Amino acid sequence: MKNLFLGVDTSNYTTSLSLVSEGKVISSVRRLLPVKEGEKGLRQSDAVFLHTKALPELSCELFSSVSMEEYKLSAVGVSSKPRDAEGSYMPCFLAGYSYASAVAHSHNIPMHAFSHQSGHIAAAIYSSGKEFSFFDGLPFIAFHVSGGTTEALYTAFNGETYLCKIIGGTNDASCGQIIDRAGVEMGLSFPCGKELDVLSENSAKQLPVTVSAKEGYFSMSGLQNKVQKFLADGEKHEDIAMFLFNSIASALGKSSEHLRKVYGNLPIIYAGGVMSNSVIRGELSKLENVHFASPELSSDNACGTAILAYRKHMKGR
């Protein structure tokens, strides 16, 4: 029988489960948590309840998609905290941790806890097609760009997870927060990234892009003020969406170029939900030696935690 590894991730907005065998994702399911119209997020207590409700249904869907006669569940990987840093904590991850613990104890198998950020990086590397290059222990730069985080990380795999040191990113609001705030201002449904991406495809006017960036760090809060001004001035939503994505791409590009001057021409991997945006990916792809998660695995998923559980199992053997 083939070894099977379960991945669990319960981020602030997505419940995710995944199965990995022989280093490959064989099944993955996820569910966006519902956010009331006009609101810009969820309270943690609501997120925990919604994850708890979704996990049994998604578990049934996941395991019914594979023939368990061919596999033996060998370990569970779970996102237990946002980042690998002291004090990093969000209640929403408790739902996934409880589910993963129950599965592990009922099957008498190990449970391995990782950070949500490490899961994102692992999923991005897996789906980029450059997996072996980033699992060899050599340093690289990883950008984690999402609704809750926009960080540039000096990163290396230590055989079990990713050791990360913050070396750049936003010094105020995250890119994902600015995107969602702009979308809600335009009357879009939260989260707003996909709808804004579609809007930007019909942009016919280039609004001026200006981004404050210094030594790998940049500011995002000014974009929200500009979006509000453009809306008050009657600019089209399509053009505002394009302005927003061009501005974020410019900020990430400036940060990437500066960090390479400081740390050398290291490979860069871009992960996180914001990196599924076509405009941002298109601009950053003009840089050399850069890699992206697939659009599907840019957003929150449990594939990375399952891959890390597989890697840890292989190291143990």
CATH architecture assigned to 168-295: 2-Layer Sandwich (3.30)
Q: Please provide the average confidence, as pLDDT, over all residues in the chain.
A: 94
Kindly indicate the confidence band of residue 135, based on its pLDDT and cuts at 50, 70 and 90.
low
**pLDDT exceeds cutoff 90 at 212:** no
Q: With a cut of 80, say whether residue 248 has pLDDT above it.
A: yes
User: Three-state DSSP class for 58?
Assistant: helix
User: How far apart are the C-alpha atoms of 110 and 24, rounded to whole Å?
Assistant: 19
Using pLDDT thresholds of 50, 70 and 90, give the confidence band for residue 211: confident
- Digit-coded pLDDT (tens) for 59-102: 999 999 999 899 999 999 999 999 988 899 999 999 999 999 99
Q: What is the pLDDT of residues 288-298, one digit of tens each?
A: 999 999 989 99
Residue ranges covered by each domain of the chain: 2-135+297-316, 168-295
Could you read off the pLDDT of 262-300 as tens digits, one per residue? Answer: 999 999 999 999 999 999 999 999 999 999 999 899 999
pLDDT tens readout for residues 28-52: 999 999 988 777 788 999 999 999 9
- Which pLDDT score, from 0 to 100, does residue 246 have? 97
Indicate the angle between helix axes 175-185 and 237-263, nearest 10 degrees.
Answer: 170
Model pLDDT for residues 176-199, shown as the tens digit of each residue: 999 999 999 999 988 899 999 999
Nearest to 277, CA basis, from 153, 157, 143 = 143
Please tell me the predicted confidence (pLDDT) of residue 35.
87
Q: Residue 297's Cα: distance from chain center in Å?
A: 8
- Token pair listed for 301: 């998923």
CA dihedral 88→90→93→98, nearest 10 degrees, is 90
Per-residue pLDDT averaged across 228-256, rounded?
Answer: 97
The string of pLDDT tens digits covering residues 139-168 is 999 999 998 899 999 999 988 899 999 999
Q: Judge: domain 2-135+297-316, CATH 3.30.70.2200.
A: no
- The answer to whether residue 54 scores a pLDDT higher than 70 is yes
Give the tokens for residue 234. Answer: 């009657």
